[in-house]
């Protein structure tokens, strides 16, 4: 990837991210347009990593725009790490995102999602020895999916409806 194609914020994040995982740079690209988000800034960094778990078809994605790092975990769950002007250390949110990515890769966390009639209704994550919180769901699920980087904690559970 040619880093000069990245906008200033994306270069800032890329410096930290690729210092941690230099091998990920080959999976990175700068994008200028994304049809699902017309507000996307040109030069946004997108990194898509295939996990070693053969049960996971989607990638682990890292996006940078609007002064935040977005981690999309296998299209089951996503979260944002954002920099706020009143935070003294502008790198703290990037380091927090890196810690979360480390937790996914080391299987300290597992990614969870719920479906109803085959449709995604919510996603979350949980520490490997904890149960995921489903209190935010507004619909009753009929399927629970749990995946981890290497597959150690993979689980699919069907519920009676």
Total count of domains within the chain: 2
**What is the predicted pLDDT for the residue at 44?**
96
Split at pLDDT 50, 70, 90, the class of 88 is low
39 and 70 in a single domain? The answer is yes
Q: Write down the pLDDT at residue 124.
A: 97
User: Domain range for residue 122?
Assistant: 109-158
Strand partners, 127: 109
Q: Are residues 81 and 115 in the same domain?
A: no
One domain, residues 70 and 113: no
User: 115 and 99 in one domain?
Assistant: no
Q: Count CB neighbours of 10 within 10 A.
A: 25
Beta-carbon count within 10 A of 104 CB: 21
Q: What ranges make up the beta strands (E) of the chain?
A: 28-31, 44-49, 60-65, 68-73, 77-82, 109-116, 119-127, 143-147, 155-158
Whether residue 95 is found in the same domain as residue 129? no
Chosen domain end from 105, 121, 148:
105
Q: Once rounded to an integer, what is the mean pLDDT over residues 75-104?
A: 87
**Residue 85, pLDDT above cutoff 70:** no
Give the three-class secondary structure for 120. strand
**Predicted model pTM:** 0.91
């Amino acid at each position: 990837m040619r880093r000069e194609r990245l906008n200033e914020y994306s270069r800032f994040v890329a410096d930290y991210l690729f210092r941690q995982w230099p091998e990920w740079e080959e999976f990175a690209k700068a994008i200028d347009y994304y049809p699902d988000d017309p507000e996307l800034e040109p030069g946004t960094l997108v990194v898509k990593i295939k996990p070693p778990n053969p049960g996971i078809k989607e990638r682990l994605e890292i996006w940078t725009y609007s002064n935040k790092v977005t981690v999309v975990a296998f299209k089951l769950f996503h979260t944002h790490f954002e920099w706020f002007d009143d935070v003294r250390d502008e790198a703290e949110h990037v380091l927090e995102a890196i810690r979360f990515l480390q937790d996914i890769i080391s299987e300290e966390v597992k990614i969870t999602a719920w479906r109803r009639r085959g449709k995604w209704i919510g996603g979350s994550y949980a520490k490997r020895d904890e149960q995921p919180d489903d209190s935010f769901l507004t619909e009753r699920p009929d399927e629970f999916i749990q995946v981890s980087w290497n597959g150690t904690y993979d689980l699919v559970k069907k519920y009676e409806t």
